[in-house]
Chain A
């Protein structure tokens, strides 16, 4: 337990130290890589709540990532074109304010998670995986066939959105924003894992009939977890769009849902920092191996196979022992 805490602290500090070093050394590209890792980690932290703690293997979390991304894209698009968003009964002005965009992204991804979860959670096992995948694909094709916001080509945002008091165009400041949000999500996850709710969610993964027998409705517990999970992933989507200043249907792709699962498996399922370790490793490999070969996913696949076969607890499990992340 203590060893895992130390390891978590080391990962958190490492993710902070690398961009700080890059900043002092004048290497903005490395800062961007670290920002990408932090954002993908945030999306993974969201998924980990459903998948790790709740055992809900969602292959559709890209839906929430994409909803968050498009919330940013649509609001910023209307702001930069000075064309208010026409909602029929009334119109809404676009915005370039990050807090407003984040809130919108979270509200809409929560609603999407509520709808998808309410239907998907009536199934389990492989059916759950398939139905979440199907919902993800529905969002993907919807985005492709929505010409108002770029369709297949996506939407470009000319200038990064703003945050009061900060210069978000400065890579290190934007990194700081993403890093703080990641840490906040990790604290939230740790708190939830220790709460009575986390206890029930974790027990429902192991023995659902026990949880019902003590008067706790398993379906509702899972639905709440799924909504919180989707909301965090949605927030990550809004940041990801801001990092690239671009949104496209690929944010909804099932490959992305798969990558989020890969982070969790690489880092260690149900480990608090599992998705952080996994996302950092993924971004590093993508950068180095991607530079060597276009087919770097082959190496990633081999690594994944190795982890699944020989290191079931992932990176964190291998380094910190087999206890679960919460006591």
Chain B
């Protein structure tokens, strides 16, 4: 078996009486899409925050590319190549679409402390940013202020900024949220090819997308992983049907 790119080992996180993560161990292998599903409040975003370094787990460790990164902050993990998208778009709304993408490119090439040359006319920064925008279909909006984008376009820009990092692994928190059927289908097709560049840990409520994309699925309920397996195994797992899919099946 190949070594996982990203893994959590027995992660536990409590907020007072709420146990948001309980002994969570899961991994992301090269070339795969590993979907993380679970009802609202199951602890998916909390887990993502611990993987990306926004929250420190009470117990357990996170490894990324064979290194223990539990004590590292967001910046250090991003520099190792962790590309993350937010559940609620986190973009510089006053800036243009291109500026948001160039920011990602500047971070990726460690040029954020360059004070002299204009960012937008820098060839390499601009090329990296434009390529990412092109891939998500936002090229025509490069000069648009981000605040003027539709909700769906902001979701696309979230993905584009992550692409500028040329990550070794993607962590995406509900990238399809609010996209509509057509938007979800386009993004599904895109993520399907993206997995060959870097594996994707995908938190998603859109079950069509999850079952179309995921090589493996983990189900999180009340902070605990109650099942991990391929699509068929999860679809037929009695505990999953009862706890989660039950409502829809």
Chain A residues proximal to chain B, CB less than 8 Å: 191-192, 194-200, 202-203, 206-207, 209-217, 220-221, 224, 324, 327
* Interface SS of B by simple majority: loop
A216 and B90: CB pair below 8 A?
no
Chain B residues proximal to chain A, CB less than 8 Å: 52, 54, 73-75, 78-79, 84, 86, 90-95, 99-100, 102-104, 106-108, 110-120, 122, 125, 161, 164-165
Residues of B within 8 A of A199 (CB): 95, 99, 102-103, 106, 119
The listed residue (A210, A221, A324) touching B161 by CB distance below 8 A is A210
* Distance between Cα atoms of A207 and B120 in the complex (Å): 20
The listed residue (B95, B103, B115) touching A214 by CB distance below 8 A is B103
The listed residue (A198, A210, A217, A224) touching B119 by CB distance below 8 A is A198
* Distance between Cα atoms of A210 and B91 in the complex (Å): 6
Residues of A within 8 A of B125 (CB): 196
* Distance between Cα atoms of A203 and B217 in the complex (Å): 35
Q: Could you tell me the distance in whole angstroms from the C-beta of A197 to the nearest C-beta in chain B?
A: 5
The listed residue (B78, B94, B95, B120) touching A215 by CB distance below 8 A is B78
* Distance between Cα atoms of A220 and B112 in the complex (Å): 10
Known A-B contacts A199-B106, A215-B107, A216-B75; A210 and B90 likewise in contact (beta carbons under 8 Å): yes
* Nearest 8 CB-CB pairings of A with B: A214-B107, A215-B78, A196-B106, A194-B118, A215-B107, A203-B92, A216-B112, A212-B74
* Distance between Cα atoms of A259 and B116 in the complex (Å): 30
Q: Could you tell me the distance in whole angstroms from the C-beta of B231 to the nearest C-beta in chain A?
A: 30
* Distance between Cα atoms of A194 and B121 in the complex (Å): 9
B94 and A216: CB pair below 8 A?
no
The listed residue (B90, B94, B99, B118) touching A213 by CB distance below 8 A is B90
B120 and A214: CB pair below 8 A?
no
B115 and A211: CB pair below 8 A?
no
Known A-B contacts A199-B103, A221-B112; A324 and B79 likewise in contact (beta carbons under 8 Å): no
Residues of A within 8 A of B111 (CB): 196
* Distance between Cα atoms of A207 and B118 in the complex (Å): 21
Residues of A within 8 A of B73 (CB): 212
B113 and A197: CB pair below 8 A?
yes
